[in-house]
Structure 1
Amino acid sequence: MEHIMNNVVEPSSEPPTGEIALPTTRGHDGMVTVHAPGLEVIRTMARNGHPVTSIAAALGMSARVMRECRKRQPEVEAAFAEGLGGLEHELVHTLLEAARKGQVAAAMFLLKCRHGYRETGQADSAPTVAVQINLPGAMDERSYAKMIEAEAVHG
């Protein structure tokens, strides 16, 4: 697998013409907006397995500001998802190729992760039943005695 370590977009010495050429801008309200070049940085770095903190740093922002952008700009979250999806596709494809070449560990890993297998066979995918019991809050002795008396009278 090829790894690209330098995914930081270098600022151009030329002034932007027409479209915004900067990866991000900060508005008058202090909010950071990620533009198309920044989305490409996010997509590429996520695809190459970089953590969110590194991606944020490459865009000149903190992880907190990056989280805010992801919530506010659906296209930022979509770029992350697309990058991570590409990484997942590559990793699964690599494991599948290894499994097909006879690497048993890769085949076992794929069966467990992708198809729910365990050492004892395939996992049961049937829904499980959950029972919830709600208990009343704590009562003092007098309240409890009144509740028991009321039940005895009406019961």
Structure 2
Amino acid sequence: MTDEQNDDLPARLVSPGPGGEGRTRWEVTAKGLAIIEELAGRGCHLTTIAQVLGMHVATLREVRKRDPEVDEAYQRGLAREHDQLVGNLRTLADEGNVVANIFLLKAKHGFKEGEAQANLSLSVNTGGVLVVPQKQSVEDFLRDAEMRDVTPRIARDE
């Protein structure tokens, strides 16, 4: 295989240096770096990425340790996936999704149920909890919202 054909590969085995000293090693090409970043950004497991590159997952781990460019491509992909997922969650939270709000409060701000939070101001009355989208004031929300009673009903035998 020529060097030009090797450049089309995402990764290739490189022979030892002159005189045959050392051992063969894997080298990830520019195409391979792009593949690593893209697949990591899509949430693919390291094993899947290694398979696409044509190597074993343990080999890819070693290549990541040895080659900072490979690890940086992987980290950029993970960061992109993280930002996308947090953005999706933030959108749901802004739309009033209670579960998304609770999860973000716990994951990003260390909130733990049952523990007093020094920097958290929370006022609860017996009327329930009102979740207001971040982009809107409470007054505007109450003026614009169609208020519905969402209190769970208990089935009673009559």
TM range (shorter): 0.5 to 0.7
Report the 3-state secondary structure (helix = DSSP H, G, I; strand = E; otherwise coil) of the residue aligned with 2:7.
coil
CA RMSD of aligned residues (A): 2.3
Q: How does 1:101-140 map to 2 (within 5 A)?
A: 101-121=95-115
Gaps of 5+ in 1: 1-14, 125-155
Query: How far apart, CA to CA, are the structure 1 residues paired with 2:94 and 2:58?
Result: 43
State the TM-score, normalized to the length of structure 2. Answer: 0.64
Answer yes or no: is 1:25 the counterpart of 2:12: yes
Gaps of 5+ in 2: 16-22, 119-158
Q: Give the counterpart letter for 2:13 in structure 1.
A: R
Q: What's the CA shift string for 1:43-69, capped at 9, x where partnerless?
A: 000000110000000110000110111
Aligned to 1:56: 50
Taking a change above 3 Å as real, the CA distance of residues 54 and 110 of structure 1, as seen in their structure-2 partners, is same
Taking a change above 3 Å as real, the CA distance of residues 25 and 19 of structure 1, as seen in their structure-2 partners, is closer
Answer yes or no: is 1:87 the counterpart of 2:74: no
Q: Give yes or no for contact 2:41–2:79 (8 Å, CA) kept in 1.
A: yes
* Larger Rg belongs to: 1
Q: Give yes or no for contact 1:23–1:37 (8 Å, CA) kept in 2.
A: yes
Cα offset, 1:20, TM superposition = 2.5
Cα offset, 1:123, TM superposition = 5.8
Report the 3-state secondary structure (helix = DSSP H, G, I; strand = E; otherwise coil) of the residue aligned with 2:84.
helix
Matched residues, number: 111
Q: What's the CA shift string for 1:81-106, capped at 9, x where partnerless?
A: 00000000000000000000010000
Percent identity reads: 36
Query: How far apart, CA to CA, are the structure 1 residues paired with 2:109 and 2:92?
Result: 17
From 37, 42, 46, the counterpart of 2:40: 46
Query: How far apart, CA to CA, are the structure 2 residues paired with 1:89 and 1:22?
Result: 29
Aligned to 1:73: 67
Cα offset, 1:122, TM superposition = 6.3
Q: Give the counterpart letter for 2:82 in structure 1.
A: E
Report the 3-state secondary structure (helix = DSSP H, G, I; strand = E; otherwise coil) of the residue aligned with 1:117.
coil
Runs of 4 or more consecutive aligned structure 1 residues displaced over 3 Å after TM superposition: 15-19, 121-124
Cα offset, 1:30, TM superposition = 1.6
From 89, 94, 99, the counterpart of 1:100: 94
Q: Give yes or no for contact 1:43–1:80 (8 Å, CA) kept in 2.
A: yes
Q: Give yes or no for contact 2:6–2:12 (8 Å, CA) kept in 1.
A: no
